[in-house]
Amino acid sequence: MAKMQFGVLLPHFGKETSPSRIIDGSRLCEELGFHSIWVRDHLIWHPHGMEKSGLKFVEPFVTLSAVAAVTKKILLGFAVLVPVRWPLKVSQDLASLSYIAGGRVIAGMGLGFNPAELATVGMRIEDRIDILRETVEIARLIWKEDNVSYKGKIFSFQNVTIEPKPAAPIPIFCGGSTRAAIRRAAEYCDGWIPGRVPMATFDDRIQYLRQLTDRKITLGNIPITRIDKDRKKARASINVEALAESSEGSSHWIKPPSGKFQTIEDLEGLLIVGNPEDCAAEIEKFRMRGVEHLVFDLRLQYDRFEESLELIGKELLPRFR
């Protein structure tokens, strides 16, 4: 069983974000022994109903470039990039970040879901599957070779070289929680990192992935996390209905036996909640399934982000070392 690494979704979006929270929070993550820091990606963003947060959204490459400058070893992950950049540009940005950061980059990539967001950069949502595939193909070519020419269904170019090359190989993780996302991960990605997803659905997708390929595919997961020394306080005000509808992939989830997500327990896998003992028990379920990158999504308590990091770093992480 692979060793589990622990990451944090950085508060670079919403009303609680600030330059100091991004910079100082990243330093704190590294000091506390977290293995990775992750960011989201949107050009047009509106908070989910569970968030009730503002419209601030700091661009992910800018965010992780700032983090790279104030950290030394923590991994920098995208969960996930959406197709609002042309492939050569995103390839250059990722290579440059790797060069600056000494190679510690993980490139999560996804399809996006908002037609208006893609339309603002001249992309059509109908083309997003081809865009993702060709972006991965182009990135891998341009990171390894010079004088690259490419002709795909959507993109083509002649005799292009991008320098600097990445300082280390950049793994590409596929986002999404549908079976179609699993097929993409199995076919041409190095890993799979869904956002919040119920455990029954996660198990189904892992089984499907293993049916499709025996190639090594790194598993990640990004559960919503709410932790407090007081179990009742952690569980208070959890909006089960809002969380059950918070993902664009929720229509593809396997429902609980009742047919509807009604309790906190119904959100197993999607939600880690409770005191450190409760949270450790939930984390163990991911470890037993071979998850290598568990990323804590603390957006429900970004107002006490630093306090939450301290609690996880001192009470949870040592249990899994």
Pairing between β-strand 105-109 and β-strand 75-81 as defined by DSSP bridges: parallel
The Cα–Cα gap between 321 and 317 comes to 7
Q: What is the distance, to the nearest Å, from the Cα of residue 229 to the centroid of all Cα atoms in its chain?
A: 26
* Measured CA angle at 311 (ends 307, 317), to 5 deg: 140
The Cα–Cα gap between 189 and 265 comes to 32
In the chain, alpha helices (H): 19-32, 60-70, 87-101, 115-119, 128-144, 179-188, 199-212, 231-235, 240-244, 276-288, 305-311
Q: What is the pLDDT of residue 1?
A: 65
Q: What is the pLDDT of residue 49?
A: 75
Confidence of residue 20 (pLDDT cuts 50, 70, 90): very high
In 33-127, alpha helices (H): 60-70, 87-101, 115-119
- Region 219-230 average pLDDT: 98
pLDDT, one tens digit per residue, over 91-110 is 999 999 999 999 999 999 99
pLDDT, one tens digit per residue, over 67-84 is 999 999 999 999 999 999
CB 77 within 8 A of CB 36: yes
- Region 153-182 average pLDDT: 98
pTM for the model:
0.97
DSSP symbol at 294: E
Any idea where the domains of the chain sit in the sequence? 5-320
pLDDT, one tens digit per residue, over 239-275 is 999 999 988 889 999 999 999 999 999 999 999 999 9
Is the domain spanning 5-320 CATH 3.40.1170.10? The answer is: no
Least confident of 2-6, 134-138, 180-184: 2-6
CB 209 within 8 A of CB 192: yes
Q: What is the pLDDT of residue 183?
A: 98
Residue 51 has pLDDT above 80, yes or no: no
DSSP symbol at 192: E
Task: Please report, for residues 22, 31, 216, the alpha-carbon distance to residue 314 in angstroms, rounded to integers and kept in the order given.
Answer: 20, 11, 32
- Percent with pLDDT over 70 in the chain: 99
- Region 112-126 average pLDDT: 93
